């Protein structure tokens, strides 16, 4: 049986969608979220300028069975605009924090996109036919001279060039005092939650003027504030369960059946602190930046500054597995605190079979860990690897000591090139990596199906 | 050779010179002493140097954190998670420094520097707020809303001195209640409470105090060095803290703006809005973050803070009724 991570490493082809090399980019082009839809046919990205770009996978070529469909731009639209909060005299950024697709129920696709304050539901639909042969209007839509109409005709639908239309269907506004960091669609396909720093609200997808607050950790006295919510997600199968992570490194599983306000958790996942590694930065690096349920719903994946952890829902006192993403940064925490990099929020993802986890790092590196074989790999999303069909070469960071050729030393890492957002196709070995303003899509040429 | 000569002739009792009482080797007379009592001094020197560099690092981390907190006020709402994490770090450092006693030294240096400047009432209150210590000095691990600078000792110590005219209370202010007086007399305590404690030493039967005096005794050199560096650092800190002067509400910049915000209710003047970067309200200066963070709930100081904001609001209402 092929080892998925091995095949993934050695036969990955890359596809970069940045057309020109060395093109300068503006801040608005920085990609802030990446998400595949439930079939993997569509891939959406959001950027700092409030735009959403949707890519669609081309169907497989019939001539080359191994040539996987490539992703091409399907539609681009402006999701959020910058706003100004007049009461507080502050700008509200248009940056898209998260995109989540709804499961497809008809020909159209629906996605939720959110900035710091407002969630919007968008409908993405195709139009490839148009009616022709009106009686009263001519082809350009002008009214016909009635005297020239001699007979009646029934308009027919004729094929046309494909047009993709995106329209806003719902706007869920004015429900968050703090910055929205997560949205998650419930498995009931009717409700979703939005989480900000201190509160989580439950919405019905059809109702925009009312939401229910289900978690509230705001202290009565704001001076007592020591902990914020950093991420939240619904369980993939149980519509009553949700998890949220905090800046103190804890995870709380809440059951909405227990009470209307889920301030009291059902389970608390926390790893006891290692006293030997204690420093002034211990709390900051323990802050969980992302939490994801496994596809099976059995496990949780969390990311803090230096590690990625897999938790078993049935074991609260410690994680099942701990993966060191970039332990070599532990001795650099002070400088990373100074330049604010220590507050970077890296995301993490599962592959479709929950056997491999992936997360980003600095210097445009991203890492994959195979849970079954305990093997891991560091890869780079860069222009060198962006030539089509180029195979990705594993990278290594050396921390002094023996240095092999092509190793990068810790001190020459570029901390401005960070991979915060990654996505994995739900069923196949295709990954999307957002590196600042570039989107890289890597496909596993040989091994299409998931193993394990 | 020299040593044996000294030993015979010097008046210092041998026990004091070589506390450990080990004999000198003859060959050691020319070299730097490596054994015996001198060794104790050397190892304590090394320990003190290590302590100093750790303290310096800690101090620079504290300064950095405070500056980061200030820079939170930008055009866009600051990241609350980042602010909370930095604030927790500051709190942690402050708790540790309080337990060490370096907190007190820093506030003394700060108060000495501030004493020269003219103080308005608001400024005094601000400094007093800075000077309050958390109960964490007791050794309990519960993080309380922290005063950004200062041990409770500043004003409270004044009270004690006035009352008892006794020697200093130790670094651990656990015996002192948190009711801070409204007046603040700068610079009336000694620069080095440790020494005073050592000399008089009989005050409270607090165990922790005695421990501290021991620490002070051995670390006295380090403390001095620390103090010097702390004074230097507190100048940086003072630039940060000294800007509390800005807290005095400026003459209203724009009556139209005042009117616009005149009906904003007082509940906005709390850490909530401060942390979310509310700049528009003229009553809150950009450094109120530190001030708000340092004020306790059930203390007379925070009530005076809210009283002031209430008074300001009343002023506004009066302006609108009477003025325009």
A166 pLDDT more than 90? yes
Measured between beta carbons, the chain B residues lying within 8 angstroms of A92 are: 76-77
Q: Label residue A315 by pLDDT band (50, 70, 90).
A: very high
Tokens standing for residue B208: 């922790």
Query: Has residue A191 got a pLDDT over 50?
Result: yes
For the stretch A262-284, what's the b/e string if a residue is b when 16 or more beta carbons lie within 10 angstroms of its beta carbon?
beebbbebbbeeeeeeeebbbbb
Tens digits of residue pLDDT in A220-253 = 999 999 999 999 999 999 999 999 999 999 999 9
Mean pLDDT computed over B144-151: 39
Q: Do A283 and B80 touch (CB under 8 A)?
A: no
pLDDT value at residue B131: 36
| Residues 6+ positions from A207 with CB-CB distance below 8 Å | none
Per-residue pLDDT reduced to its tens digit, B121-145: 444 433 333 333 333 333 333 333 4
B269 to chain A: closest CA residue: A222
Give how far B165 is from chain A: nearest CA, Å. 36
Local structure of A12: helix, strand or coil: strand
**Average model confidence (pLDDT) across chain A:** 89
Contact call for residues A175 and A201 (beta carbons, < 8 A): yes
Using CA atoms, how far residue B128 sits from A189, A308, B298, in Å, is 56, 44, 15
Q: pLDDT, tens digit, for every residue of A79-111? A: 999 999 888 888 899 999 999 999 999 999 999
Q: Is B249 on the interface with A (CB under 8 A)?
A: no
Instruction: Count other C-beta atoms under 10 Å from residue B265's C-beta.
Output: 7
- Exposed e or buried b for every residue in A316-329, given b needs 16+ CB within 10 A? beebebebebbebb
Hey, which residues does A78 pair with through a beta bridge? Answer: A51
Does the predicted TM-score (pTM) go above 0.90?
Answer: no
The answer to whether B262 contacts chain A (CB < 8 Å) is no
Q: Which of B57, B62, B71, B84 to mutate to test the interface with A (most CBs of A within 10 A)?
A: B84
In this structure, the number of other CB atoms found within 10 A of the CB of residue A312 comes to 15
Tell me: pLDDT of B204 over 50. no
What pLDDT score does B309 carry?
62
Phi, psi of A378, rounded to the nearest 5 degrees: -115, 125
Distance (Å, rounded) from C-alpha B120 to C-alpha B126? 10
B174, two tokens? 């656990």
- Flag whether pLDDT at B257 surpasses 50: yes
The per-residue pLDDT for B272 is: 47
Is the CB of residue A45 less than 8 Å from the CB of residue A434? yes
pLDDT for A17 beyond 70: no
Spatial contact of B299 and B134, defined as CB atoms under 8 Å apart: no
Mean pLDDT is lowest, of A135-139, A171-175, B262-266, for: B262-266
Instruction: Say if residue A343's pLDDT is above 90.
Output: yes
Give the list of residues 6+ apart from residue A270 with CB closer than 8 angstroms, or none.
A249, A250, A251, A316, A317
Residue A65 has pLDDT above 90, yes or no: no
> Three-state SS for B11?
coil
Give the Cα separation of A358 and A351 in Å (integer).
8
> How far apart are the C-alpha atoms of A163 and A85, rounded to whole Å?
36
Which residues of chain A neighbour B87 with C-beta distances below 8 Å? 226
Question: Across the interface, do A179 and B297 touch by the CB < 8 Å criterion?
Answer: no
- Of residues A51 and A384, the one with the higher pLDDT is A51
Region B159-184 average pLDDT: 37
d(CA A134, CA A154): 7
What percentage of chain B exceeds 70 in pLDDT?
Answer: 24
Share of chain A above pLDDT 90, in %: 71
In angstroms, what separates the C-alpha of A179 from chain B's closest C-alpha?
A: 8
Cβ neighbours of residue A186 closer than 8 Å, sequence gap 6 or more: A192, A193, A234, A239
Comparison of pLDDT for B35 and B323, the residue scoring more: B323
Per-residue pLDDT of B272-316, as tens digits, reads 444 444 434 344 433 444 444 444 434 444 444 455 666 777 777
Q: What is the pLDDT of residue B111?
A: 80
Tell me the residues of A at the B interface, defined by beta carbons under 8 Å apart.
87-93, 116, 177-179, 197-198, 221-228, 230, 247, 280-281, 283-284, 287, 334, 337-338, 340, 343
Long-range contacts of A404-412 (CB under 8 A, 24+ apart): A408/A363, A410/A328, A410/A329, A410/A332
Predicted confidence at residue A447, as pLDDT, reads 53
Q: What would the mean pLDDT of A8-17 be, rounded to a whole number?
A: 44
Task: Give the CA distances from residue B163 to residues A95, B21, B120, B174, B207, in Å, rounded to whole numbers and listed in that order.
Answer: 60, 45, 26, 18, 23
Q: In this model, does residue A452 exceed pLDDT 60?
A: no
Nearest to A52 by CA among A43, A63, A65: A43
Hey, are the CB atoms on A224 and B145 less than 8 Å from each other? yes
8-state DSSP, B137? G
A369 pLDDT band (50/70/90 cuts)? Answer: very high
Q: Is the CB of B236 inside 8 Å of chain A's CB atoms?
A: no
Rounded to a whole number of angstroms, the distance from the CA of A321 to the nearest CA of chain B is 26
Query: Is the pLDDT at A20 greater than 90, yes or no?
Result: no
Residue in this structure with the two tokens 């990705």, named with its chain if needed: A392
Residue A274 has pLDDT above 60, yes or no: yes
What is the average pLDDT across A383-395?
76
pLDDT of A256 above 50: yes
Diameter over CA atoms, chain A: 94
Q: Is the pLDDT of residue B99 over 80?
A: yes
Measure in Å the smallest separation between the Cα of A404 and chain B Cα atoms: 34
Q: Is the pLDDT of residue B149 over 70?
A: no
Q: Give the rounded percent of residues in chain A with a pLDDT score beyond 70.
A: 90
By DSSP bridging, strand A12-16 and strand A31-36 are unpaired
At B151-168, the pLDDT tens digits run: 333 343 433 334 333 333
Helix (H) or strand (E) holding A433: strand A430-435
Within 10 A of A185 (CB to CB), how many other CB atoms are there? 21
Measured CA to CA, the distance from residue B297 to residue B136 in angstroms comes to 16
pLDDT tens per residue across span B19-63: 444 444 444 444 444 444 556 677 777 777 777 888 888 999 999
What are the C-alpha distances in Å from A337 to residues A244, A251, A281? 25, 24, 8
Q: Is A3 exposed, middle or buried (0-12, 13-18, 19+ CB in 10 A)?
A: middle
Report chain A residues whose CB lies below 8 A from the CB of B254.
none
Distance of residue A228 Cα from the nearest chain B Cα, in angstroms: 6
Integer Cα distance of A93 and A289 in angstroms: 20
Contacts of B79 in chain A (CB under 8 A): 179, 343
Describe the strand order of the beta sheet including A31-36 as a list of residue ranges: A31-36, A42-47, A51-57, A71-78
ipTM summary value:
0.89
Query: Using alpha carbons only, what angle is made at residue A115 by residues A114 and A118, rounded to the nearest 5 degrees?
Result: 70
Scanning B219-268, the segments in alpha helix (DSSP H) are 220-242, 255-260
Burial label for B256, CB within 10 Å (0-12, 13-18, 19+), is exposed
């Amino acid at each position: 049986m092929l080892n998925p991570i091995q095949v993934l490493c050695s036969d990955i082809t890359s596809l970069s969608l940045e057309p020109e090399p060395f093109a300068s980019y503006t801040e608005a082009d920085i990609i802030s979220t990446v998400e595949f839809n439930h079939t993997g046919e569509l891939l959406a990205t959001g950027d700092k300028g409030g735009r959403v770009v949707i890519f669609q996978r081309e169907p497989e070529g019939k001539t080359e069975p191994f040539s996987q469909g490539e992703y091409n731009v399907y539609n681009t639209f402006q999701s959020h605009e910058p706003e100004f909060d007049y009461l507080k005299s502050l700008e509200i950024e248009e940056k898209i924090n998260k995109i989540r697709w709804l499961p497809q129920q008809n020909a159209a696709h629906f996605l939720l996109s959110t900035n710091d304050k407002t969630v919007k539901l968008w409908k993405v639909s195709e139009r490839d036919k148009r009616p022709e042969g009106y009686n009263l209007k001519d082809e350009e839509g002008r009214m016909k001279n009635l005297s020239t109409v001699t007979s009646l005709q029934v308009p027919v639908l004729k094929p046309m060039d494909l047009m993709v239309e995106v329209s806003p269907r719902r706007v869920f506004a004015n429900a968050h005092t703090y910055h929205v960091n997560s949205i998650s669609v419930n498995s009931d396909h009717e409700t979703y939650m939005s989480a900000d720093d201190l509160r989580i609200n439950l919405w019905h997808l059809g109702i925009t003027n009312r939401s229910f607050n289900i978690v509230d950790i705001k202290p009565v006295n704001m001076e007592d504030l020591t902990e914020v919510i950093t991420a939240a997600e619904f369980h993939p199968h149980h519509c009553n369960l949700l998890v949220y992570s905090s800046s103190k490194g804890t995870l709380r599983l809440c059951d909405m059946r227990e009470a209307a306000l889920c301030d009291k958790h059902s389970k608390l996942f926390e790893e006891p602190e290692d006293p030997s590694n204690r420093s002034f930065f211990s709390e900051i690096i323990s802050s969980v930046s992302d939490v994801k349920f496994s596809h099976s719903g059995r496990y949780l994946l969390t990311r803090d500054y230096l590690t990625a952890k897999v938790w078993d829902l049935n074991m609260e006192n410690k994680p099942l597995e701990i993966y060191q993403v970039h332990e070599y940064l532990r001795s650099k925490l002070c400088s990373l605190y100074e330049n604010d990099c220590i507050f970077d929020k890296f995301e993490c993802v599962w592959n479709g079979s929950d056997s491999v986890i992936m997360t980003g790092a600095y210097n445009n590196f991203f890492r994959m860990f195979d849970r079954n074989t305990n093997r891991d790999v560091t890869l780079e999303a860069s222009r060198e690897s962006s030539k089509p069909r180029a195979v990705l070469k594993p990278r290594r960071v050396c921390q002094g000591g023996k240095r092999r050729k092509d190793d990068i030393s810790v001190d020459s890492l570029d901390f401005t090139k960070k991979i915060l957002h990654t996505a994995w196709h739900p069923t196949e070995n295709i990954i999307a990596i957002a590196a600042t303003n570039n989107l890289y899509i890597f496909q596993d040429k040989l091994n299409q199906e998931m193993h394990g | 050779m020299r040593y044996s000569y000294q030993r015979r002739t010097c008046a210092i009792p041998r026990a004091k010179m070589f506390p450990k009482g080990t004999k000198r080797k003859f060959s050691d007379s020319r070299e730097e002493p490596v054994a015996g009592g001198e060794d104790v001094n050397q190892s304590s020197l090394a320990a003190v140097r290590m302590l100093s560099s750790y303290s310096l690092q800690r101090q620079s981390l504290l300064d950095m954190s405070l500056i980061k907190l200030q820079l939170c006020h930008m055009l866009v709402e600051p990241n609350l998670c980042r602010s909370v994490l930095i604030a927790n770090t500051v709190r942690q450092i402050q708790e540790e420094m309080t337990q060490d006693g370096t907190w007190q030294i820093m506030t003394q240096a700060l108060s000495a520097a501030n004493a020269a400047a003219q103080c308005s009432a608001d400024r005094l209150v601000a400094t007093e707020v800075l000077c309050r210590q958390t109960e964490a000095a007791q050794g309990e691990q519960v993080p309380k809303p922290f005063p950004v600078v200062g041990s409770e000792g500043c004003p409270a110590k004044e009270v004690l001195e006035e009352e008892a005219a006794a020697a200093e209370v130790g670094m651990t202010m656990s015996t002192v209640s948190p009711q801070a007086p409204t007046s603040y007399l700068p610079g009336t305590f000694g620069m080095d409470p440790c020494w005073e404690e050592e000399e008089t030493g009989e005050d409270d039967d607090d165990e922790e105090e005695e421990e501290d005096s021991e620490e002070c005794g051995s670390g006295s050199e380090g403390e001095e060095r620390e103090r010097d560096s702390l004074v230097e650092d507190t100048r940086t800190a003072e630039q940060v803290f000294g800007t509390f002067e800005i807290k005095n509400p400026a003459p209203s910049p724009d009556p139209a703006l005042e009117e616009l915000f005149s009906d904003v209710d007082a509940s906005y003047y709390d850490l909530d809005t401060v942390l979310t970067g509310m700049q528009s309200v003229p009553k809150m200066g950009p450094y109120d973050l530190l001030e708000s963070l340092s004020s306790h709930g059930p203390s007379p100081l925070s009530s005076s803070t809210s009283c002031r904001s209430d008074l300001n609001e009343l002023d506004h209402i009066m302006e609108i009724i009477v003025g325009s």
